[in-house]
Structure 1
Amino acid sequence: MAGKVRVTLAQAIVRYLDAQRVSRDGQVQRFFHGVFGIFGHGNLTGLGQALEEHEGALPFLQPKNEQGMVHAAIAFAKARRRLGTFACTSSVGPGATNMVTGAATATINRLPVLLLPGDIFANRAPQPVLQQLESPHSMDMSVNDCFRPVSRYWDRIQRPEQSLYALPEAMRVLADPAETGAVTLCLPQDVQAEAFDFPAHFFEERIHVIERRPCARERLEEAAAILRRAKRPLCIAGGGVHYAEAEEALRRFADATGIPVAVTQAGMGALPDAHRACLGAVGVTGTSAANRIAREADVILVVGTRLSDFTTASKTQFQAEGVRFIALNVNAFDAAKHGAVPLVGDARLGLDELTRALEGYRVPPTYEAEIAASREEWARTRDELTRSPDGRLTQAEVIRVINDEAGPGATIVHAAGGIPGDIHKLWRAKEPDDYHSEYGYSCMGYEIAGALGVKLARPEREVYALVGDGSYLMLSQELLTSVQEGAKLTVVLLDNHGYQCIHNLQRGSGGRSFGNEFRARRGGRLEGEVLAVDYVKNAESLGARTFTATTAGELSRALREARAVPSSCLIYVPLESSAGLPSTSWWDVPISEVSTVPSVREKRAAYEAARKKQRFHY
């Protein structure tokens, strides 16, 4: 038939994905760089067969865990500034639900990933099929309905021709910086194998133009007027600065106005640490410099961040009477938070427009002097915090050594636990790409899979995964995938024998030690000896070259030696101390109102006092 191509739904999906391109600033690039997949009866003879037969340029990668492959895909997307990603396919059942955590991580962080889980039979003939969750209320429900609340777009393809509408809609969401997140297309296993006469032009190369959307002129004028009246303004830069490639625009803005810049976890590196306007991390995990300035700031310019509770210190960070917010964000939902003047648009365009609108304005000299003094004081404090007085390695010192040894062209990847709190404070960003944090969802197990995604996106970079033993035990399998793909990672594993970040929170909240350390059972509680885990042998069994470091000097040598190794490495670092660095801001973690433990009652009183500092900004 003229102008028609008869293929199965699965074959159509693979062809369509291979043809998608995105363009920004005139630069066209492939959007899907491959497909991660673990096969089962729900996708093997459909998508699996289509991928095996496909003659295009869409490689298949074999992960070892479905959650891990989604983490790798979204880390790839983050490293590519949201201009590229992977599709992820799983079987029906547990393979699909393993991806739900990854989907939530993607959507919360506003990062694109396409999920293609197998599904139950559309024809219902073999119902219940193996791994099917039955419901007495609807025969149309499956475990894939779990993806609905964590996806930006969700669909179930019941007929091959429905993909003519679902796939373009999926691409619209994935490529839109204001809408992007996880997109889930559920694929009944019988429908994957059904054929349809698709229009030939459906598989032609398609370029999705990502526009830089300007802010409304009236809002820019309003924001500029507020900033011109400000005596103590502060800019908070988030991940949106990186996604818009607005780092130079931010530097120009800071140079022209003298307005200091603090950064969120995702915004680290938006302005180099050495820049005189950079105050470093802000909020619960912030530096004393940024948090001191933030407490008294009269105007907060927020660029590309959704202002999570860690950034706002649970709404206690900004204490100036009548403080105003201006929010530059491509997403109108984020731009309207805290009663901000919403500048809905591209971060690069918006910053350049603000710089022009503020021509002739500069913060008062006394404020600039205060900023410089705050930077100098924090530099001295950081130096003290990162040098152990007794020679025993601390987490803070590990971070300093990695920061010193990882020169230009290196990226550090981290996620949940105590590491993000310390590294956010201590890291001295040299360039936009040297710091990669997943802290929107704070997902344990992201680190190694995320590092793999970064390495696939930026193969020229030296990529480090900084991970605790708790996260390593949850999800370390993609270390083997890195060996399989020749995608070299260096994993720095800090072993403190448990979930010590939460252990610290538990004790700091007045509680007794309970359930957070890796100890054998003694009597009725987990209070016996520390469990011995040989992480070195484990990593070696996965194909990694290993090193052990117990001092700062040994860690420096191990990092240098690992850099010369062409394949993946693991550096094992046992830590005696599990204490994190003190915070200069508060975080709202409710303390039990009634307790038999005196220390809990004491902490409850302090908690109630701290809550009085919370502010409703509107």
Structure 2
Amino acid sequence: MSAAAPALKTASAPATVNDTATGARLLVSSLERMGVEVVFGYPGGAIMPIYDALTGTGLKHILVRHEQGAAFAADAYARASGKVGVCMATSGPGATNLITGIANAMMDSVPMVCITGNVPQGVMGTDAFQEIDILGVTLPIVKHSILVRDASEIPAAVEQAFHIAASGRPGPVLVDLPKDVQFATATAPFGFNIPNETAEVDHDAVAEAERFIRAAQRPLIYIGGGVKIGRATEAVRAFAEATGIPTVSTLNALGTIPTDAPGFLGMLGMHGTRAANEAVQASDLLIVLGARFDDRATGKLAEFAPHARVVHFDIDASEIGKLRETHVAVRGELKPGVEALTVRLAAAPLAIDPWVIRCATAAVHHAARYDAPGEGVYAPALLKQLSEAAGDRFVAACDVGQHQMWAAQHCRFSKPEAHITSGGLGAMGFGLPAGLGAKLADPSATVVTIAGDGGFMMNIQELATLKRYGVALKIVLLDNASLGLVRQWQELFFEENYSEVDLSDNPDFVKVAEAFGVEAFRIDRRDQVEAGIARLLAADGPCLAHVIINPKENVWPLVPPGKSNAEMMEGA
């Protein structure tokens, strides 16, 4: 996954702090100068000077109830807004509680700046109270780390952190501030020397890509999350429309092409649609845009798209040819490269009508059905109905599990920002704080957290954050009293040995939500769904719909582990 840099708010010329200030105040001033509006965090001893400096500033600090919630919320804020997300925590356990969220941002290429306090430099290395080498701990899961040793370095360090987080292939950057640096005073210049990294389009490679596409009989556009991050959504939509080439999407790219658009075949991979996977396997050319051939997308790599040559557009050169031989590599920012290719291909139509008809016919033939028997709630139908009722303002912040796959398969997404999920890391507990971050990023959106009972319990404390700040997040909690996806695999591949997946002792989630001051209600029959969706969407503040579903319901289709995408299992 890859992308160009999201736009940053920076001054046109370096400025200087008028008066001598503490490191903590320099940090806050630097954040304001970078255009930061919202910070997610949790205070503690080693970051207390920064919290002292926050008072009376223009920054809106959101006090989460666990540092993991801060990182997840900042991640989703970045995905929804296109800005750099910011979170902060104290040393020791505060910093280590950020780690899963940092890894999540790294895996999904999300621009994020994580600020941690640390013990004074004079006691570093002595096993001081709440001391942890957070730079060392996070080295494999950050794009860059900065340990600030002098207060005068803070403005440049912050500007550098934001630039690195957002440029090229985005990712998280850690800024670690010892407590003595926060207390120290300095007069510090602003103005990190940001290099000019604008890359020219490789027109020779684009011309070669055109040649391969015109020679293909069964071309397919394979869209990855880098398209959204690189702000190339409109360019890719124009390319697909101009050429008529069918499209498939990874999990993190859903909505790049509206999911109900002609020619879109759905998500590919382990829980992809049969139409998408069959098209990939039959294609003779993959036009890969900002995707990284993730194993959940490819299945058995040696048998993935066996007849296809590859044209790969990516800003991260390390992804090109990493897992699959690339026949044409177009390196650089996606938007200008795709636009240049569109201009060339628009000169004469492609002769691929039989392939287009074949893919469209397969999409109709393999379309999902929603007429499941019984009176219980059928989750795919509920999620489809919910997304359609919410319309183009719908944004799903998904946790991880069966509900995540059902949302990906059945929800209508009109834009890539409408689908926020933990893709590469698959971190349970993401949904609730992610919904918080997404709603704060775009208050006018209808943001719905879609969670399962397992993941919801992992960060349930953030209900208090919703209530405190009056964040009108809607929550659909699909409760099958089990770790559903693990249970499904145990059923299919472990001889029904249901080891440690029983969650039948869950609390009454309606009462729990109400105890936090959040409106809640329960749905357990299909005839309650329409009214339940209407109530959820009409609620003025945060609201939770506790939806009871069949614990034996599985996600279909499914590509078994180690198998080709051609070997899809179907349920009854």
TM-score (norm 2): 0.90
Render the CA deviation track for 1:16-49: whole Å, top value 9, x for unaligned.
11112xxxxxxxxx3x2222221111111x2111
Alignment of 1:316-395 (within 5 A): 318-321=304-307, 323-337=308-322, 338-340=324-326, 341-358=328-345, 359-379=347-367, 382=368, 384=369, 386-395=370-379
Q: Secondary structure at the match of 1:104?
A: helix
Opposite residue 40 of structure 2, the aligned amino acid is: F
> Is the Cα contact below 8 Å between 1:244 and 1:347 reproduced in 2?
yes
Aligned residue in 2 for 1:429: 413
**Structure 1 spans left out of the alignment, 5+ residues:** 21-29, 134-141, 520-529, 589-606, 614-618
> Is the Cα contact below 8 Å between 1:157 and 1:187 reproduced in 2?
yes
Tell me the CA shift for residue 298 of structure 1.
0.9
> Is the Cα contact below 8 Å between 2:106 and 2:172 reproduced in 1?
yes
Aligned residue in 1 for 2:472: 488
Render the CA deviation track for 1:467-513: whole Å, top value 9, x for unaligned.
00000111122222122222211111111112121111122113442
Tell me the CA shift for residue 274 of structure 1.
2.8
**Alignment size in residue pairs:** 549
> Is the Cα contact below 8 Å between 2:481 and 2:551 reproduced in 1?
no
Q: Which contiguous aligned blocks of 4+ residues in structure 1 show a shift greater than 6 angstroms?
A: 206-212, 610-613
Render the CA deviation track for 1:378-424: whole Å, top value 9, x for unaligned.
22xx1x2x332112113223322323322221111113111222222
Q: Once structures 1 and 2 are overlaid, which stretch shifts more, 293-302 or 346-355?
A: 346-355
In 1, Cα distance between equivalents of 2:98 and 2:172? 10
Q: Secondary structure at the match of 1:407?
A: helix
When residues 560 and 316 of structure 1 are mapped into structure 2, their CA distance, relative to the original with a 3 A threshold, is farther
When residues 488 and 363 of structure 1 are mapped into structure 2, their CA distance, relative to the original with a 3 A threshold, is farther
Aligned residue in 2 for 1:596: none
When residues 326 and 587 of structure 1 are mapped into structure 2, their CA distance, relative to the original with a 3 A threshold, is farther
Q: Once structures 1 and 2 are overlaid, which stretch shifts more, 106-115 or 431-440?
A: 431-440
> Is the Cα contact below 8 Å between 2:210 and 2:344 reproduced in 1?
yes
Aligned residue in 1 for 2:494: 510
Tell me the CA shift for residue 209 of structure 1.
10
Tell me the CA shift for residue 110 of structure 1.
0.7
Aligned residue in 2 for 1:188: 178
Decide which of 41, 49, 67 is 2:52's aligned counterpart. Answer: 49
Aligned residue in 2 for 1:78: 79
Aligned residue in 1 for 2:94: 95
In 1, Cα distance between equivalents of 2:146 and 2:253? 32
Aligned residue in 2 for 1:276: 262
Q: Secondary structure at the match of 1:448?
A: helix
Q: Secondary structure at the match of 1:187?
A: strand
Tell me the CA shift for residue 125 of structure 1.
8.6
When residues 211 and 128 of structure 1 are mapped into structure 2, their CA distance, relative to the original with a 3 A threshold, is closer
> Is the Cα contact below 8 Å between 2:113 and 2:162 reproduced in 1?
no
Alignment of 1:152-551 (within 5 A): 152-163=143-154, 165-176=156-167, 178-199=168-189, 202=190, 213-315=199-301, 318-321=304-307, 323-337=308-322, 338-340=324-326, 341-358=328-345, 359-379=347-367, 382=368, 384=369, 386-518=370-502, 530-551=504-525
Render the CA deviation track for 1:220-244: whole Å, top value 9, x for unaligned.
1111111111111110112222223
In 2, Cα distance between equivalents of 1:370 and 1:93? 58
Aligned residue in 1 for 2:530: 556
> Is the Cα contact below 8 Å between 1:259 and 1:363 reproduced in 2?
no
When residues 404 and 175 of structure 1 are mapped into structure 2, their CA distance, relative to the original with a 3 A threshold, is closer
When residues 531 and 169 of structure 1 are mapped into structure 2, their CA distance, relative to the original with a 3 A threshold, is same
Tell me the CA shift for residue 214 of structure 1.
4.3
In 1, Cα distance between equivalents of 2:162 and 2:355? 47
Does residue 17 of structure 1 match 2:31? yes
> Is the Cα contact below 8 Å between 2:113 and 2:173 reproduced in 1?
yes
Tell me the CA shift for residue 126 of structure 1.
11
Alignment of 1:58-137 (within 5 A): 58-81=59-82, 84-124=83-123, 127-132=126-131
When residues 252 and 164 of structure 1 are mapped into structure 2, their CA distance, relative to the original with a 3 A threshold, is closer
> Is the Cα contact below 8 Å between 2:286 and 2:311 reproduced in 1?
yes
Opposite residue 339 of structure 2, the aligned amino acid is: D
User: How much identity, in percent, do the aligned residues show?
Assistant: 26
> Is the Cα contact below 8 Å between 1:258 and 1:363 reproduced in 2?
no
Tell me the CA shift for residue 97 of structure 1.
0.2
Render the CA deviation track for 1:448-480: whole Å, top value 9, x for unaligned.
111111111111011101100000111122222
In 2, Cα distance between equivalents of 1:190 and 1:229? 64
In 1, Cα distance between equivalents of 2:566 and 2:408? 27
Q: Secondary structure at the match of 1:460?
A: coil
Aligned residue in 1 for 2:44: 40
Tell me the CA shift for residue 580 of structure 1.
1.9
When residues 157 and 351 of structure 1 are mapped into structure 2, their CA distance, relative to the original with a 3 A threshold, is same
Tell me the CA shift for residue 246 of structure 1.
2.7
> Is the Cα contact below 8 Å between 1:36 and 1:87 reproduced in 2?
yes
Tell me the CA shift for residue 532 of structure 1.
4.4
Q: Secondary structure at the match of 1:443?
A: coil
RMSD: 2.5
Q: Secondary structure at the match of 2:535?
A: helix
In 1, Cα distance between equivalents of 2:457 and 2:285? 44
In 2, Cα distance between equivalents of 1:80 and 1:454? 8
Q: Secondary structure at the match of 1:562?
A: helix
> Is the Cα contact below 8 Å between 2:223 and 2:290 reproduced in 1?
yes
Render the CA deviation track for 1:175-233: whole Å, top value 9, x for unaligned.
30x2421111111122211112223xx18xx9979977443111111111111111111
> Is the Cα contact below 8 Å between 1:152 and 1:179 reproduced in 2?
no
> Is the Cα contact below 8 Å between 1:228 and 1:361 reproduced in 2?
no
In 2, Cα distance between equivalents of 1:366 and 1:269? 26
Tell me the CA shift for residue 434 of structure 1.
3.1
Tell me the CA shift for residue 576 of structure 1.
2.2
Q: Secondary structure at the match of 1:302?
A: strand
Q: Secondary structure at the match of 1:269?
A: coil
Flag the structure with more relative contact order, 1 or 2, with Cα contacts below 8 A and sequence separation at least 6: 2
Tell me the CA shift for residue 100 of structure 1.
0.5
Aligned residue in 1 for 2:6: none
Q: Secondary structure at the match of 2:262?
A: coil
Tell me the CA shift for residue 102 of structure 1.
0.6
Decide which of 547, 551, 556 is 1:582's aligned counterpart. Answer: 556
In 1, Cα distance between equivalents of 2:556 and 2:261? 25
Aligned residue in 1 for 2:5: none
In 2, Cα distance between equivalents of 1:267 and 1:16? 33
Opposite residue 61 of structure 2, the aligned amino acid is: F
When residues 473 and 357 of structure 1 are mapped into structure 2, their CA distance, relative to the original with a 3 A threshold, is same
Opposite residue 159 of structure 2, the aligned amino acid is: P
In 2, Cα distance between equivalents of 1:19 and 1:408? 33
Render the CA deviation track for 1:62-116: whole Å, top value 9, x for unaligned.
11110111111110111123xx133212111111100011100111111111111
Opposite residue 47 of structure 2, the aligned amino acid is: N
In 1, Cα distance between equivalents of 2:227 and 2:426? 20
In 2, Cα distance between equivalents of 1:79 and 1:292? 32
TM-score (norm 1): 0.84
Greater Rg by CA = 1
Opposite residue 419 of structure 1, the aligned amino acid is: H
